[in-house]
Amino acid sequence: MPQPLQGCRVVDFTHVLSGPIATNFLRLLGAEVIKIESAAGDTMRNYGGIQYADGMGPSFASVNSGKKSIVLDLKRAADVAVARELIAGADVVTENFRPGVMDRLGLGYEACKALNPRIVFCSISGYGQRGEVRHQPAIDQIIQSTSGMMSLSGEPGTPPIRIGYPAVDTYSGLLAAFAIVSALLQRGRDGQAQQVDVAMYDAALVLMISMAGPHLLTGKRPAKQGNRGYSMSPTADTFPTASGHLTLGAVRQDQFERLCRVIEREDLIADPRFQDRGTRVAHGEALQHEVSQALAGRGAAEWAGLLNAAGVPAGEVRELPEALAQPHLDDRQLLLSIPAGAQTLRVLNAGFRYEHDGPGLDAPPPALGQHTAEILAGLGRTPEQIAAFLHREDAQAES
Amino acid sequence: MPQPLQGCRVVDFTHVLSGPIATNFLRLLGAEVIKIESAAGDTMRNYGGIQYADGMGPSFASVNSGKKSIVLDLKRAADVAVARELIAGADVVTENFRPGVMDRLGLGYEACKALNPRIVFCSISGYGQRGEVRHQPAIDQIIQSTSGMMSLSGEPGTPPIRIGYPAVDTYSGLLAAFAIVSALLQRGRDGQAQQVDVAMYDAALVLMISMAGPHLLTGKRPAKQGNRGYSMSPTADTFPTASGHLTLGAVRQDQFERLCRVIEREDLIADPRFQDRGTRVAHGEALQHEVSQALAGRGAAEWAGLLNAAGVPAGEVRELPEALAQPHLDDRQLLLSIPAGAQTLRVLNAGFRYEHDGPGLDAPPPALGQHTAEILAGLGRTPEQIAAFLHREDAQAES
């Protein structure tokens, strides 16, 4: 049986991060993704200090495995014509240029729809495809700032804190993939083209729906609450231990009581200050002081084991390398091993499992232009035409 | 023309956040979502201080609009039979109980597949449906801890920092929606049932792909980098101004030079310490000092306007209420207004736009059990049977 997107062809004009993440999901579900690159290649190819091969910076290699690369100079009419031929035979076009660029290239939604009345055309931008705001430059950390995201993390009263990875790019990429697959499902019924317009700013607000939603309904301003959980329970927080930090998620009464037993402080259960959720919040500082003292007796991983066994949600604070090395991941199909010449590359899968024909791939990221000849041949170009295309003397100079 | 999921029926056993977010996306794309609730209702109904109506806590109302609610006591055979009838006529089942619970209720994947050989069955859990680890209790802040997420934000050397909103729940919900829609597309071709297994831990790692991917390829440990962007450029960071904070995203040489002109410090361009990207990183502290002094002359919003006009990515740090009030959102179809009795509820849409028949809805969140009678009638129950079902004397006591 086929993967969900087997036979689906994506003509992918995206670069850097959000767009390549979107098409990485499509590729992991079986789509053919044809990456259109300039002669300089996706900026991310040469990004980051350590590369495993030329043009294979780790940020690039992480999200471009199994795609095909064709080099086109979209300032040349002949190359735009190749792009148009590809689009005519494709299911999906993706792009994350600044709004207006694809139109100026003759490759905008209306042009693509004229070429292919069933095309799903997805744009990702900072603020969307319309209005004056669309011209504002936007990168992840700018959107983290303007969307309110930097104002939510950290202790009350502290300056803005950026989420330490490009959460907006990453979420926008998945949201685009979701919107594209939904549009393909819709197209299966109505046979119509569809334009998908993903704005990173909008995506950021939806990523914060747990804060934005209640604000829209109540008008109440969300407040920074440090490491305290959504519940605001003092025993749903992060504590230092003898070794490393430990996060507790003891919210319900039974969880609180079990926590007290495991840390050998059953006296806290009977303490009137801590008798129910309301009083525990009111005496949060005192309770956290008692819990911290008790937790100083063991390390975080040991506490996590004891507490989880007793039914108290708890987890040690890990660093990312240790999180990726957890043995239970062996059974999750989350880490793919891809042969790449003499090496084996490890990349992340889509993050979910299917019973059958689920996400995965076994082809490495493409070298720049690795599939140019193959793709041109697929369009019916003769070997002579392909050779001439590949060896244009000024190909580099003009791009 | 129809929305992508029009005619698609989802039997939704999820509660709290990640699952309801997943089915909120499905509902926004036109699916019928039947929310199965106990007599006590989804915990989130009574969560949060301000409610607009009974059982309508703002966290609940934000992600359950337009769903239908039926109250079933899954400890009763008659009620499990109702659930099974619903599943037999559905396209999708969603659940986020602890692994094993649905099996024990006779409603697990194998049972559902026997009832409905085309069912897409999606589970969301902390660590997946298999192995010993599946029994570990998991909530957002625990997964933020164990997945390495808390170790990435903030200045180098500072303690773990939680992302100030449930990013893992939210991302897991979208990932589940994506996996479900992809499975529906697959089912359109192979006609087979599919099981979707989403683990919040795996989702968290994929959300951090920009850090996790390069680590898997290089072995290099990711480091906290404060508010410095992915590029590590000293002029891609957040600075105080005369009023509020401003984030700059000046990474390329031309952006740096434009920045210097706008802040009236053209002398910095000629300074040998700042002549290229490498030297600017090496003299980052000195450069940030100069930039900070210059930025102290105006407020963040004013700077953002001047810099964006000059082609330098920049954005003022807003709080969430101001971010939601930006006038350009009027054209984004991001904020839905839903009539609910005498009130109008404002909720977030899916975060992307379509050219036609895109995401949206106009029905309020359901009162607990609001659709029980309607749904039972749809299953062919007589008015007498429905009345008997609704007025069982011990319905509350047993649940």
B-chain CB neighbours of A179 within 8 Å are 350, 352, 354
Range of the domain at B82: 9-208+330-398
Query: How far, in Å, CA of A300 to CA of B230, rounded?
Result: 30
Mean pLDDT value across residues B71-86? 97
Verify that A268 and A345 share a domain, yes or no: no
In chain B, the number of structural domains is 2
- B48 φ, ψ to 5°? 95, 145
Q: Percent of chain B having pLDDT more than 90?
A: 91
Average pLDDT over residues A142-169: 96
Residue A61 falls within a domain, yes or no?
A: yes
- Residues B311, B359 share a domain: no
At which of A317, A341, A357 does a domain end? A317
Do residues A257 and A182 share a domain?
no
| Backbone dihedral angles phi then psi of residue A114, each to the nearest 5 degrees | -65, -35
B145:A245 CB<8 A: yes
A1 in reach of chain B (CB within 8 A): yes
Query: Domain boundary at A285, A317, A349, which?
Result: A317
* B325 found inside a domain: no
Nearest C-alpha neighbor of B193 from the set B80, B74, B90: B90
- Residue pair A162/B227 in contact by the 8 Å Cβ criterion: yes
Q: Do A183 and B4 touch (CB under 8 A)?
A: yes
- Pick the last residue of a domain from B291, B317, B343: B317
* Interchain CB contact of B303 with A (< 8 Å): no
Cross-chain Cβ contact A62/B140 below 8 Å: no
Question: With contacts defined as CB-CB under 8 Å, which chain A residues touch B329?
Answer: 202
Answer yes or no: is A1 within a domain.
Answer: no
Written as six digits, the tokens of A152 are: 């939510």
Contact in structure between A92 and A9 (CB atoms under 8 Å) = yes
Residue of A nearest to B349 (CA): A206
pLDDT (tens digit per residue) in B189-205: 999 999 999 999 999 99
> Which of A133, A185, A331 lies nearest to residue B185, judging by beta carbons?
A185
Residue type at B325 in one-letter notation = A
SS (H, E, C) chain B: CCCCCCCCEEEECCCCCHHHHHHHHHHHCCCEEEEEECCCCCHHHHCCCCCCCCCCCHHHHHHCCCCEEEECCCCCHHHHHHHHHHHHCCCEEEECCCCCHHHHCCCCHHHHHHHCCCCEEEEEECCCCCCHHHHCCCCHHHHHHHCCHHHCCCCCCCCCCCCCCCHHHHHHHHHHHHHHHHHHHHHHHHCCCEEEEEEHHHHHHHHCHHHHHHHHHHCCCCCCCCCCCCCCCCCCCEEECCECEEEECCCCHHHHHHHHHHCCCCHHHHCHHHCCHHHHHHCHHHHHHHHHHHHCCCEHHHHHHHHHHCCCCEEECCCHHHHHCCHHHHHCCCEEEEEECCEEEEEECCCEEECCCCCCCCCCCCCCCCCHHHHHHHCCCCHHHHHHHHCCCCHHHHC
Q: Is residue B158 part of a domain?
A: yes
Q: Decide if pLDDT at A167 tops 60.
A: yes
pLDDT tens for each residue of A58-93: 999 999 999 999 999 999 999 999 999 999 999 999
Q: Are residues B91 and B168 in the same domain?
A: yes
Does B173 lie in the same domain as B116?
A: yes
| Cα(B315)–Cα(B293) distance, integer angstroms | 18
Is pLDDT above 90 for B341? no
List all residues 6 or more positions away from A177 whose beta carbon is below 8 Å from its beta carbon.
A21, A22, A23, A25, A26, B178
Check which CATH number belongs to the domain holding B93 and give it: 3.40.50.10540
- Identify the DSSP state of A152: T
Is a pLDDT exceeding 50 seen at residue A301? yes
Instruction: Please give the helix or strand (H or E) that residue A384 lies within, else none.
Output: helix A383-390
Residue A315, classed as helix, strand or coil, is strand
Same domain, A107 and A33: yes
Question: Do A306 and A371 belong to one domain?
Answer: no
User: What's the CATH number where A294 sits?
Assistant: 3.30.1540.10
A184 touches chain B (CB under 8 A): yes
Q: A298, A262 in Cβ contact below 8 A? A: no
User: What one-character DSSP code corresponds to residue A330?
Assistant: G
**A18: pLDDT confidence band, cut at 50, 70 and 90?**
very high
Chain B interface includes A164 (CB < 8 A): yes
- Residue B159 CB coordination number (10 Å): 12
The CA distance from B235 to B34, in Å, is: 50
**Inter-chain contact B319–A151, Cβ cutoff 8 Å?**
yes
Instruction: Provide the pLDDT for residue B49.
Output: 61
Q: What is the pLDDT of residue B230?
A: 75
Q: Tell me the mean pLDDT in the region B357-363.
A: 97
In a domain, A223, yes or no: no
pLDDT band at A51 (very low <50, low <70, confident <90, very high): low
Of B59, B143, B210, the CB nearest to A210: B59
pLDDT tens-digit map of A193-244: 999 999 999 999 999 999 999 999 999 999 999 999 877 899 999 999 999 9
Tokens representing A291 are 């819990």
Q: Do A354 and B188 touch (CB under 8 A)?
A: no
Same structural domain for residues B268 and B388?
A: no
Q: Torsion over CA of A324, A328, A332 and A335, rounded to 10 degrees? A: 30
A49: number of Cβ within 10 Å: 9
Q: How many residues belong to chain A?
A: 399
Q: Is residue B352 part of a domain?
A: yes
User: Nearest CA of chain B to the CA of A253: how many Å?
Assistant: 15
d(CA B114, CA B281): 62
Interface test with B, best of A149, A194, A202 (most B CBs within 10 A): A202
Q: Which residues of B touch A59 (CB under 8 A)?
A: 210, 213-214
- pLDDT greater than 50 at residue A398: no
Query: Residues B21-35: what's their mean pLDDT?
Result: 98
CA distance to partner chain A, nearest, from residue B384 (Å): 39
Confidence grade of residue B392 (pLDDT, cut at 50, 70, 90): confident
pLDDT at B54: 81
Band of pLDDT at residue A315, cut at 50, 70 and 90: very high
**pLDDT tens by residue, B152-194:** 999 999 999 999 999 999 999 999 999 999 999 999 999 999 9
Instruction: Kindly list the residues from chain B whose CB atom is less than 8 angstroms away from the CB atom of residue A66.
Output: none
Q: Which of residues 249-278 of A touch B (CB under 8 A)?
A: 249, 251
Q: Based on the domain organization, do B38 and B159 belong to the same domain?
A: yes
Overall average pLDDT of the A328-346 stretch: 94
Q: Are residues A79 and A202 in the same domain?
A: yes
Residues 41-80 of A with CB under 8 A from B: 48, 50, 52, 58-59, 61-63
B positions 86-105 inside 8 Å of A (CB): none
How far is A316 from chain B, CA to nearest CA, in Å? 6
**CA B111/CA B109 separation, integer angstroms:** 5
Q: What confidence score (pLDDT) does residue A399 get?
A: 39
List the single residue in B with minimal CA-CA distance to A122: B354
- Give the up-direction half-sphere exposure of residue A175: CA atoms within 13 A in the CB hemisphere: 33
Residue B216 forms part of a structural domain: no
**Are the Cβ atoms of B206 and A350 closer than 8 angstroms?**
yes
> Considering CB atoms only, which of A161, A236, A320 is closest to B211?
A320
Establish if A147 touches chain B: CB-CB under 8 angstroms.
Answer: yes
Q: Is the pLDDT assigned to residue A182 strictly greater than 60?
A: yes
Query: What are the phi and psi torsion angles at A78 (to 5°)?
Result: -65, -35
| Contact check, Cβ <8 Å, A194/B356 | yes
Give the residue from chain B lying closest to A319, CA to CA: B148
Q: What percent of chain A has pLDDT over 70?
A: 97
Instruction: Retrieve residue A69's tokens.
Output: 């690369």
**pLDDT above 90 (res B231):** no
β-bridge mates for residue B348, sequence order: B335
Q: Which residues of B touch A256 (CB under 8 A)?
A: none
Q: Residue A67 carries which DSSP code? A: -
Size of interface A-B (CB pairs under 8 A): 484
A307 and A356 both lie in a single domain: no
| pLDDT over 70 (residue B397) | no
Closest residue, chain A, to B132 (C-alpha):
A328
- Residue A158's closest chain B neighbor by CA? B154
Residue A228 lies in a domain: no
Partners of residue B17 in chain A, C-beta under 8 Å: 210
Compute the average pLDDT of residues B365-378. 97
Question: What is the band of A42 on the pLDDT scale with cuts at 50, 70, 90?
Answer: very high
On the question of pLDDT at B48 being above 80, the answer is no
Inter-chain touch A183–B354, beta carbons under 8 Å:
yes
Whether B364 has a pLDDT exceeding 60, the answer reads yes
Please identify among residues 194-223 of chain B the ones whose CB lies closer than 8 Å to any CB of chain A: 194-199, 202-203, 205-218, 220-222
Q: Do A146 and B315 touch (CB under 8 A)?
A: yes
- Asked if B388 has any chain A CB less than 8 Å from its own CB, the reply is no
Are residue A108 and residue A196 in the same domain, yes or no? yes
